[in-house]
Structures are given as structure tokens and as C-alpha cells.
Chains A and B, each alone.
Chain A
Amino acid sequence: MREELHRFFRAARGAGVRVSPAESIDAMKAVADVGFADRGILRDTLLLTLAKSEDEKQALGECFDLFFSQPEVKQETAPGDAAENEGADSASGEAAQGEDAGAAAQQLGELAQMLMSRDRNAIAAGVANAASAASLSDIRYFTQRGIFSSRILEALGIERLRDDLDRLTTSNPAEAERLAAALDGLRETVRDAVSQALLLYGREESENLRNEILRNAPLARLERRQVQEMKALIRAIARRLRERYSRPRKHQRRGHLDIRRTLRRNAAWGGVPFLTTWKRRHRDRPKIVALCDVSGSVAQVSDFFLLLIHSLHEVVDDVRSFAFSGNLIEVSDILDTRSPEEAMSEIMSKVGFGSSDYGGSLVDFEKGFMRALTPKTTVIVLGDARTNNLDPRADILRRISERSKRLVWLNPEGRFAWGFGDSEMPRYATYCSVVRQCATARQLERAVSDIVAAYQ
């Protein structure tokens, strides 16, 4: 049973629940106490000891149900075959069949005997043993299904069965037919067992692989089905950044005594300074002003960027977002009040789908929102800097840069394309503190992480 629990822990890790060795020891202790008799209690026990948040509880609950439903699935496939066979048997006559089987069994191999006896418990146990002999719990990718199936069948002794089948085909065709049918049933059972194992143990790896691919895919050219996955990934990134930066760290400045607070703190002892208080350095939380190009190919990247920036409430004090293509509007309220999908379509209907006019948009910003900039603000511009040969108005960008703490330009295009055609990137770049490429989720994460880290 201990073996079984260990496999469950591995399956739990596959389901995304982090199970540390200490937790697994706790779970073992607890399970030893409550036993396996009551499935409800066992489920509660494992959920209490292993899962440490609501999400984890849900994932682990599903994993538990899947894991402990395993034997039943096998039994469901087996009785189906048995019933079919039984139908065929009754036609040929019970008594004669029994004798036949008795005589045949002496020549047949172990597996064949097991199949002919139609003892589904024995078959299920045999498959389970073979599965552990083939170390099925090591399965990681769906491409490994075939190899694990054949390994299990080999461990069951399929070689011998084939020989038996060949021999029977010549000597007793009716028996051979039954054996072949039973073999098909067995194959199906094994296939089910492997699929189940893949679902249990392989989830983590294949998800990691898919995420890795997704992180490096260009945001602007995602397929429709990838967009949803990317949104989930962006949320995960936001969570990670929140965890890393949201904890307010107090840094004491050793050596600078805070006299006022020291006196107050020691008032109880007549002002004799038993305890000292040191001055603290005040630290700002990031203030961000984001200007996002939502025209054409950049729109998708802006979408993800805005989604990320607006899910960082705990980390970032104040975000104001502006969207532009032909002209510029403020979109902070839309993003804060609507769901991400609605917000994006509303923004698009207001300013999207025009040809971009960087100069005009910068003029709009200077006229309406220059006051939003303080010496603590980081300004982020996201765009490809393709001005359609209109006046770039880099002078406004210079004034923006002078008024703010930092000016960061994120460009979805590769460095080699900057300055070619109507790209004004080199001219804008002179006024930026940082210019970086931002085409994939990985680059996006790093860019935002750096911006937030600059305040730490």
C-alpha cells in the first residue's frame, strides 16, 4: 500500500500540487492512522495534508478521483469481453466447452490460460503487475504510449500467447477465435491503463513543454487557440511577479538614529534608551504610465502587455494606460472595470484599426495628460515606431523623458528592422532610458520584471 501512496504522490506532482518529502511523510502518518476503509475520509485526509491552497485542493481532488478509479475502468472493459464470449460459449454447449478448456489449458501458456479462464480480477491484477514491471509511472509524453503498451504486453507474455494462437488456429479454430477476441480485449485494457497513466503522471512534463514553446512564440502571430493558453500563461507570469515584488521590504539605515521614535519607544523607562530605532529609507512603489500602439500587428502584443500590467495591482501603485493609433485616448477605466476580452474589443472599437500616427498621438498626450507624469513615474511606450512617414515629433518624447523617472520603449520588431523603411526607432531611442525588443512572453516578462525591479 505504501507503494500505492508513493505513486499517488507522483501523480499529485503531475497535477501541479507541490508535494514535498515532509508533506508526504505527514500524509503517510495520517493515512496510517485513518486507514483505507473509508474513501471519503481518505480523500479528506490527503487533501488536508498535501494541498495547501484552494486551487491545489481542487486539482488534488480530481487527481484522487482519477487515480482511485483506475481498477474500475479495467473491470469495465473486461466484463464486456466476457459477456461476448459467454454468448458464444452457450451456443457451443457448456459441458463440452469445459472439458475442452481443461484439455487445452495443459498445452497453453500462462497468459492464454488466464484469458481463457475469463477471470477479470486476475487479468486486472496481471495488467497492474506488468505495468509496474514496465515502470509505467515513468511515462511522460504522449509519444511514449506505444512503447509502454508493447512493454506491458511483453511483460504479460504476449510472445508465448502468439505461439499458442498459431498452434490453436490449426488444431482448434473455434478456440483460437475466442482467444483472439480475448487478446483484443486485453490490448484495449492495456491501452486504457497507459492512457490513464499518461494523464496522471505525464501532465506536468507535457504542460511544461507546451508552456516553453508558448513562451518563445511571437505574440503577434499566435493562432486563435493559442490565445487562450497565452492568457493563462500571462496570468501565471503576473502571479509570479506579484509574489516576487509585492512583499514590502523594510530596509533599515544602520547608523542613523531616529531620535523622535527612540524617545517615544522608551518613554516607559523614563527615557532611558533601552531600545533604539533607526531611520528607515522610504521606498516608492512603481508608478507606471503606459502608451500602447493598438494598430495592426502590434495590437495583439499590446493586448497581452495591458493584461499583464493591469494584473499587477499589488505590486504597482498606480497605472495609467493610454491606447493610440491615429489618435490617443486613456483606457485605464475600461481595463479596470471590464473583463479583459470586453475591454480589448471596446478599446479597439474606439481607437483601433487606424494607421498609426505617432506624432499626432504624442501631441494628444502632451495636451491632455502631461500632468500625469511625476519624477517617480516610469513611462512605457509599446510600439513598432512605424510612423507612416508622418512627423515623428521626437521633441515631445524628449519632454516626456525629462519629466519622468525612466522612459522605456518596448518594440515587438527585431533589432535588425529598426530604422528601415518608415521606422523612426533610432530617433526615438536617443531619448529613452531603455529600448528593448518585446515579441514573446518571455521577453515581456523580463521587461516588466526589470521595470518593477528598478524601484526595489
Chain B
Amino acid sequence: MERETVTNNILAADSIAAVTAGLAAAGYIASKQIATAVYLAERIEKPILVEGPAGVGKTELAKALAAWRGLKMIRMQCYEGLDEAKALYEWKYAKQLLYTQILKDKLGEVLGHADTLAAALDKLHDFGDVFFSKEFVEPRPLLQALEQPNGCVLLVDEIDKSDAEFESLLLEILSDYQVSIPELGTVAAIVKPTVILTSNGERDLSDALKRRCLHLHIGFPEQKLEERIVESRVPGISDALRRQIVGFINQVRTLDLKKLPSVSETIDWARVLVLLQSSELDHETVKDTLNVLLKYEADIETTLPQVTSFVARAGRQGVFG
């Protein structure tokens, strides 16, 4: 028994390392926590709810996971007013109408033999459900995800933007991986999809939803990790510049800004600097390209006076760090 648990544990640690490696192969540098979350989600078959500031790679995680696993990714972007018809399934009304028109003659033929109205109605009942069969269902992302024969990664993006009603709609899918369509019955998943929900924390999600998920919070990465992320995303960059960029951004994050620059901004900025062919950070380049990093005029104004000292400190870090 003892030995069994020990081997089990070693397996778990190995598998988590394998997740990290797999995600890295797909271009996503994951922290240990993220890798543990992905591993657990597959083991205990639970969706992951990812929260964190914009641009830290929440959506990217789902894409990388799908790429690594070689699965199809089905993305469902949430917005206010999203409802069942757009998320789950819809009847193809036009097709239904068209078919009844085309089959009119056939219907007449079939019903023509009936003598009374009651008999005709009885006959009609016999094939009554023809028009409410699977043929006429238009599957939307959630239903599509359940119908994938090889499984898939279902990304429910920015769930906090949707209404509270939509959250309740998701509950059945999240806990049992099935949906109920009144006319057809329950559709269960062929292969359970890996579900990832993301939220920017614009509003508090309901406890019922949170309870069904593993909760992963992705914050701004540590300096070392961020350097590795830049390395993998912007291959042409020199070591010194990369270190300076990350050092500079980490200092900007200590300021009181409206929107702090996140990883996606770091990557954009690194790309810009590579395009401009600057070999190291200097005062002028930073001033000219600060608008890549900061998205509000007020933020730029707050940061400008600090640029010189930040650049100097980032430069020192580049030498000693």
C-alpha cells in the first residue's frame, strides 16, 4: 500500500512536469500552478475557471492546451444578452418551413386516405416528430463541444460579461457534461471535453458556478518566468534587452496606474523594440514607444517622469541580475 502511493505520487509529479513540457512545446510557458490545474482538470474531470487581469494569457492557455493535445478548440465568446439560441442549439425554422412546403403533396397523399379528421390527425401523430428531429437542430458551440467524437477543448471566454441567467444554463454542462433539449431528450457528451472558463472579474460569479470548477488565478508572472515567456514568443531578441524590458515593466507595475501593463503588452513591446532594432533600452526609445505599453493618456503622464530612473535600474539589473 505504502509503495503504491509513493509510485503514484512520483507519477503525479512526472505528469505535472509533462504538462509543463507539453504546453511549452505549444508555445505556452506555464507556472507550476497552471500545470497542476491542467493536470487535475484532466484527472478529476472538472472545468477550470481562470481569473486574472486582462492579457496574462488566460485565453492563450486554452489554445495551447488544444494545440498540445491535438484537439479541436471550440470557442464561445460571452457577451451581454447571450442566450440559449446562440450558445446551445436552435431549430432551423427556415429549413422546417421549406420542408413542409416541399412535402405538402406527399402529406396530402398520406393523409388523403383518411376518412375523418380524427383519423387524419392520428396519422399525422404517427410521424409527428419528423420535424423536430436532429436533422433540424442547429448546434451552437456548447452542443458542438459535446458532439465531438474525439473530444475537444471548450473555451467559454469572458463569462463575467454574460448575464446571470446564462451562468445557470452552463451549470448542467459543467457538472454532468450533458444538455437537455425538450423535444429530443438529453444529449450527453461522446467524449468529455476539457472546459476552460475565463473571467476578468468584472462581476462576481455565482457560487454554484464556482463550486463546479477548479479555480485558477493567473496574476502577473515572476520576472524569471516572464523572461522565458518573452524568449519563447519573440525569438529574435537579445538576452540583455529581454532582461531590461522585463525589469522595466516590473517597475512600471509598482506604479498606481489605471491599467497595468500585462504579459501581452510586454510581448508587443518586445516585438516593437526588435523591429526598431534597438540593442538596449534607452530613455528616448522608451519615451517614443511607451504608448505600446500603456493604454491611457493619464498612465503615460504618470510614468514619464519615472522613465529615466527605471531605465537606469533596469540596466543595472541587466548587468548584475
Which of A's residues lie within 8 Å of B, judged by CB? 18, 20, 22-23, 26, 29-30, 33-38, 40-41, 44-45, 47-49, 51-54, 57, 243, 246-247, 268-269, 274
Q: For A274, what are the chain B residues with a Cβ–Cβ distance below 8 Å?
A: 93
Contacts A/B (CB < 8 Å), 28 sampled: A18-B207, A29-B44, A30-B40, A33-B8, A33-B40, A34-B12, A34-B36, A35-B5, A35-B6, A35-B8, A35-B9, A37-B6, A38-B12, A40-B32, A41-B12, A41-B13, A41-B36, A44-B33, A44-B36, A44-B37, A45-B36, A48-B36, A53-B215, A57-B215, A57-B217, A247-B164, A268-B93, A269-B93
User: In chain A, what residue has the closest Cβ to B175?
Assistant: A22
> A30-B44, A45-B36 are known contacts. Are A35 and B215 too (CB-CB below 8 A)?
no
Bound-complex Cα distance A247 to B8 (A): 46
Bound-complex Cα distance A84 to B10 (A): 41
Measured CB to CB, the closest approach of chain A to B106, in angstroms, equals 23
Bound-complex Cα distance A376 to B37 (A): 49
- Assess the B94–A52 pair: CB atoms within 8 A: no
Counting CB contacts under 8 A, is B263 at the interface? no
- Assess the B40–A49 pair: CB atoms within 8 A: yes
Bound-complex Cα distance A269 to B203 (A): 36
Q: For A26, what are the chain B residues with a Cβ–Cβ distance below 8 Å?
A: 44, 46, 214
> A30-B40, A30-B43, A48-B36 are known contacts. Are A37 and B51 too (CB-CB below 8 A)?
no
Q: For B32, what are the chain A residues with a Cβ–Cβ distance below 8 Å?
A: 40-41, 44
**A contact face: mostly helix, strand, loop, or mixed:** helix
Measured CB to CB, the closest approach of chain B to A187, in angstroms, equals 35
- Assess the A269–B204 pair: CB atoms within 8 A: no
Counting CB contacts under 8 A, is B26 at the interface? no
Interface membership of chain B positions 204-220, coded 1 if the CB is closer than 8 angstroms to chain A and 0 otherwise: 10010011001111000
Q: For A34, what are the chain B residues with a Cβ–Cβ distance below 8 Å?
A: 9, 12, 16, 36, 40
Measured CB to CB, the closest approach of chain B to A57, in angstroms, equals 6
User: In chain A, what residue has the closest Cβ to B35?
Assistant: A44
Counting CB contacts under 8 A, is B97 at the interface? yes
Measured CB to CB, the closest approach of chain A to B196, in angstroms, equals 13
- Assess the A48–B211 pair: CB atoms within 8 A: no
- Assess the B13–A48 pair: CB atoms within 8 A: no
* B residues 147-179 in Cβ contact with A at 8 Å: 164
* B residues 14-33 in Cβ contact with A at 8 Å: 16, 32-33
Q: For B37, what are the chain A residues with a Cβ–Cβ distance below 8 Å?
A: 44, 48
Q: For B51, what are the chain A residues with a Cβ–Cβ distance below 8 Å?
A: 53-54
Bound-complex Cα distance A33 to B41 (A): 11
* B residues 215-266 in Cβ contact with A at 8 Å: 215-217
Q: For B210, what are the chain A residues with a Cβ–Cβ distance below 8 Å?
A: 52-53
Q: For A53, what are the chain B residues with a Cβ–Cβ distance below 8 Å?
A: 51, 210, 215
Enumerate the 7 nearest inter-chain pairs by beta-carbon distance, A residue then B residue, closest first. Answer: A35-B9, A37-B9, A52-B210, A34-B12, A44-B36, A48-B214, A52-B215
Q: For B13, what are the chain A residues with a Cβ–Cβ distance below 8 Å?
A: 37-38, 41
Bound-complex Cα distance A406 to B321 (A): 64
Q: For A29, what are the chain B residues with a Cβ–Cβ distance below 8 Å?
A: 44
Measured CB to CB, the closest approach of chain B to A24, in angstroms, equals 11
B10, B164, B214: residue with the most chain A Cβ atoms closer than 10 Å: B214
